[in-house]
Structure 1
Amino acid sequence: MNASLFALALMDGVSYAALLFLVALGLTLIFGVMRILNMAHGSLYAWGGYFAATLGLLITRYELSPLLALPALVVAALLMGGLLGTVLEFSLLRRILDKDPILQLLVTFAAFMVLEDLQRMIWGVQPVFVSDVVSQLGTLSVAGVTYTRYQLLVLPFMAVLAFFGLRWFLGRTALGRQVTAVTHHREVATAMGVNTGRVTWLTISVGCALGALGGALASPTTSFTPGIGAEMMVLSFAVVATGGLGQIGGAALAALMIGLARSFAVYLLPELEVLVPYLIMVGVLLIRPEGLFSTAATRRI
């Protein structure tokens, strides 16, 4: 592998890892508070991408300012993620909070199937794609490789912003400390006067918005078709399992590992591209069954 190909694989891996991390971050946040592996999370990625592409096409059709293209991606994620998160939390997730984990998986998978069918009813089966924001930001040259600024700068920046923003929120705000308290022990937090219902709703909404943000930011570089949510759902589960269930730092490291490994596999061993993320997951879990960062620790609330 020459230097140019190495640089290209590295940049591809980082940009893909950024999207993967955003989706996995929402999934691990929801699990940390509710202890539910939300199988419907992949649909949020798809709905965020479809809705963002729709807004982008409307901006182009009505000849609105091109400067609206990038903010439209974030707005689409907040609207779609917040709306679907609220609906899922009030209608479904709070009802299965104390149920058997197998039942939780089955119910959330049923929600995933319903959302997938609704997606087909609204957007059909034709690919949806809008790339205006990528062309507006242009390209730059790194190690002799021309690469888009959107993928190299915007996507990693949004992932880093989400990571540190969430860490700051959980560690520095009163509401964030309530979320941490509920994560540590729901019953004790309730006894201390924490409104667990409000904390749960907030967590679900933020987690779903992060999943939708991943899809919205992917929409300028990926054609969205039926089934794309299932692919991202499986990959995000691999990230969460590798990093450790409920571990934000673990999700970041696992997403980077899987993103880079998948990217280099595309150029070196393309026949293993699909298999590589799961090989990494299996390898980590054989050594550390709880994941990279899942360790027992005492928390100060």
Structure 2
Amino acid sequence: MDLIFTILLDGLIYASWLFIVALGLTLVFGVLKILNFAHGGLYALGAYGAAIAVPFFAGLGMPEWFSLLAMFIAAAAVAILIAPLIERGLLRYFYGRDEVLILLITYAVFLILEDVTKMIFGVNPYYVFEPRNLLGNVEMGSLFYVGYDLALIGLAIVCGLGVWFGLNRTRIGKITLAVIKEPEVSQAMGVNIARIYLLAFGVGVFLAALGGAFTSPLISVQPGNSVSVIVVSFAVVIIGGLGSIPGAAIGALIVGIARAFAVYELPEAEIFIIYLVMVAVLIFRPEGLFTPIKARKI
């Protein structure tokens, strides 16, 4: 029983930050119909931003708990500075174009962001240990877990509920849903489509940066983090279904538990078990678990 509990809890912890990143990816696709390969680079910027912000505010004499707020500030700064630059400066010229072209454009942005982070932050790793020490250890049965790791599960739940509430229970959210379903009709009725696109992309960037910022205490922040994250995030949204928030949650859970199971029972399969699960889902449901099947136009 201890092993099963450990696998489930470790899977939840891994799935929590992965869901936050995948949530931003699936939101951008749902609204803008763009599969944003640059999402990994934005995740990395959030991680680097947190690695700089936490010691900066600590040097100003701020209390230790302020390091958590510093990570939020870093993620928000990435969204405010980078989202308009990418969306207004580049992506808006390619809306409605071929999906392969847009994927190549976002891949080019990803490569640019990767080189920019190396130019600004160098190639040496950064370590952010202060936030992970704040919440101490929590006893769970016969095991002890870092409180910060468990808090990530709560953060993921808050992000998921926040996006769902924003889309379904607010005026701007309902307008966004209308734009998703009928952009031409929405524009004809006076909706500022450009503003909705920028807002949705900004939220997606914020979620990517937030995932990076709050993952930074768990890893060494260094070049290459973005590559692994974007690949696994794509696996999550493909399993759950592109554009589906519940799909992103279920996909992250499946990936997290599959990885945790491999770590404890099949260490040699840890690298590829995520992609094995993805292939298995695609064989039986190519559109993903939560994407409704659409009638094909002839």
Return the TM-score normalized by structure 1.
0.95
Q: Secondary structure at the match of 2:65?
A: helix
Q: Structure 1 residues 7-16 or 125-134, which shifts more?
A: 7-16
Q: Secondary structure at the match of 1:225?
A: coil
Which runs of structure 2 are paired with 1:33-48 in the superposition (5 Å)? 33-48=31-46
Match of 2:145 in 1: 147
Q: Could you list the runs of 5+ residues in structure 1 that have no partner in the other structure?
A: none
Match of 2:47 in 1: 49
CA distance in 2: counterparts of 1:192 and 1:157, whole angstroms: 39
CA distance in 2: counterparts of 1:36 and 1:52, whole angstroms: 27
- 1:75-133 deviations in Å (ceiling 9; x for gaps): 11111123211111011111111211111111110000000000001111111111111
Match of 1:278 in 2: 275
Q: 1:176 and 2:152 equivalent?
A: no
Match of 1:246 in 2: 243
Q: 1:218 and 2:201 equivalent?
A: no
CA distance in 2: counterparts of 1:16 and 1:86, whole angstroms: 30
CA offset at residue 224 of structure 1? 1.2
CA offset at residue 11 of structure 1? 2.1
Asked if the contact 1:59–1:66 (Cα under 8 Å) also holds between the matched residues in 2, the reply is no
CA offset at residue 46 of structure 1? 0.5
Match of 2:96 in 1: 98
Asked if the contact 1:7–1:142 (Cα under 8 Å) also holds between the matched residues in 2, the reply is no
Match of 1:114 in 2: 112
CA distance in 1: counterparts of 2:232 and 2:90, whole angstroms: 24
CA offset at residue 23 of structure 1? 0.5
Asked if the contact 2:134–2:148 (Cα under 8 Å) also holds between the matched residues in 1, the reply is no
CA distance in 1: counterparts of 2:261 and 2:10, whole angstroms: 9
Q: Secondary structure at the match of 2:144?
A: strand
Q: Structure 1 residues 6-15 or 226-235, which shifts more?
A: 6-15
- 1:12-39 deviations in Å (ceiling 9; x for gaps): 2111101110110000000001111011
Asked if the contact 1:82–1:206 (Cα under 8 Å) also holds between the matched residues in 2, the reply is no
Which runs of structure 2 are paired with 1:4-15 in the superposition (5 Å)? 4-15=2-13
CA distance in 2: counterparts of 1:82 and 1:286, whole angstroms: 40
Identity of aligned residues (%): 45
Q: 1:263 and 2:260 equivalent?
A: yes
Match of 2:193 in 1: 196
Match of 2:285 in 1: 288
CA distance in 2: counterparts of 1:8 and 1:86, whole angstroms: 42
CA distance in 2: counterparts of 1:185 and 1:235, whole angstroms: 31
Q: What's the C-alpha RMSD, in Å, of the aligned pairs?
A: 1.2
Q: Secondary structure at the match of 1:141?
A: strand
CA distance in 1: counterparts of 2:241 and 2:134, whole angstroms: 38
CA distance in 2: counterparts of 1:121 and 1:5, whole angstroms: 44
Q: Structure 1 residues 266-275 or 7-16, which shifts more?
A: 7-16
CA distance in 2: counterparts of 1:62 and 1:11, whole angstroms: 36
Q: Secondary structure at the match of 1:219?
A: helix
Asked if the contact 2:47–2:215 (Cα under 8 Å) also holds between the matched residues in 1, the reply is yes
Q: Could you list the runs of 5+ residues in structure 2 that have no partner in the other structure?
A: none
CA offset at residue 160 of structure 1? 0.5
CA offset at residue 296 of structure 1? 4.7
Q: Secondary structure at the match of 2:139?
A: strand
Asked if the contact 2:39–2:205 (Cα under 8 Å) also holds between the matched residues in 1, the reply is yes
- 1:253-295 deviations in Å (ceiling 9; x for gaps): 0001101111121111111111111111111111111100101
CA distance in 2: counterparts of 1:201 and 1:213, whole angstroms: 18
CA offset at residue 174 of structure 1? 1.0
Return the TM-score normalized by structure 2.
0.96
- 1:163-183 deviations in Å (ceiling 9; x for gaps): 111111111111101110111
Structure 1 consecutive aligned stretches of length 4 or more whose deviation exceeds 6 Å: none
CA offset at residue 9 of structure 1? 2.7
Aligned residues, how many?
294
Q: Secondary structure at the match of 1:36?
A: coil
